[in-house]
Amino acid sequence: MDYSAICNQFVKRYGEDYSLYASPGRVNLIGEHTDYNGGFVLPGAIDKVIVAAIRPNGTDTIRVYSYDMKETEEFALDEKPIQSWAMYIYGVVNELLKAGKEVHGFDCVFGGDIPIGSGLSTSAALESTFVFALNDLYQLGLEKMEMAKIGQAAEHNSVGVRCGIMDQFASVFGEEGHVLRLDCRSLEYESLPFHPGHCRVVLLDTQVKHNLAASEYNIRRSECEEGVATIQKKYPKVQLLRDVTPEMLGEFKKKLKESTFRRCMYVIRENLRVLEAQDALKAGDYQKFGALMFASHEGLSKEYNVSCEESDFLVDVARQCGVLGARMMGGGFGGCTINLLDESLYDEFIQKAISSYKEKFRKAPKIYDVKIGNGSRKIK
């Protein structure tokens, strides 16, 4: 991304002497809706970011300009802003203050090249950018995991989305050429080399926009909790779906609502798929890895019911074209499909995806080529 427009806009509005920070969006190769169930995920940061030019202003007022939205917001440290995008910034500041950290007002211009609503976690990138910047500017002494937790808490308490830790973790911890196998319960993680050789990662944006706070995301989480509560009556040591085996869940098929049973079974199977995918990466078996991606999508669509007609269609096209693996990515109900494919298939696949999607839905999907990149950072 070219940072010059953000920098120039800052100088125009607030003057010279600013610091520049960036945090990336993320892709999740496999392990969807497992994070808030204490399970495993396999995300990587990408080469698309939110960048912020920022400077303390010596007051207790925050002045922010969103370059992409062309909107300005000004609010006191203890005052909720009006613009919805500013709630993410307010949330970060609020969580830092609650943690006893000394934060004051600042001037800022931010923008980015992460497509909004595509499932690449623009919100986590925004949160991570600000927590990383404020930690550096005010010398707060936060470790990376603490920063990820601050971002997650901001989303929970100020935005109203009960997200897991994965998005903020990937944005802060990202490492070029590596994906991160994260245990969302213990927060232990392993960095795995991701060098698929002549393969590439391509995202197809359905252009169906979703809003997690207004979607069924929170309902799915409640259904999982409902399943755990029922299982706990017989197995008190069970704390999360992470602790449940497929056989154990089978004992409760008649006691759970049919939909709740399916939600729980998906999460349990998806956790097992992530561990298989980890082993496939270590063995350099991208064929096996791709098959697990297709299986993940099947579960998301038929068991967890968070896909949509457009995402299902693009995954079917990928399968027909011989793509190694494809699945919907993100919270669901739109956004992108993530595709792992051989370089030689790229042109044919993209052409067919665009033409067939256009014919059926009267619009073309947007295409994003992504590379696995670095996490939150200060830009010199």
Catalytic residue positions? 167
Q: What are phi and psi of 238, to 5 degrees?
A: -70, 120
* Nearest by Cα to 222 from 2, 14, 37: 37
Cα 299 from Cα 104, distance rounded (Å):
46
Tokens linked to 114: 């992460």
Cα 65 from Cα 70, distance rounded (Å):
7
* Nearest by Cα to 346 from 314, 310, 327, 322: 322
What's the distance, CA 348 to chain centroid? 29
CB 52 within 8 A of CB 109: yes
CB 54 within 8 A of CB 155: no
Helix locations, the chain, DSSP H: 4-14, 86-98, 122-137, 144-154, 166-173, 217-232, 246-250, 258-282, 286-302, 309-320, 346-361
Can you give the length of the chain in residues? 380
* Nearest by Cα to 274 from 20, 29, 8: 29
CB 35 within 8 A of CB 165: yes
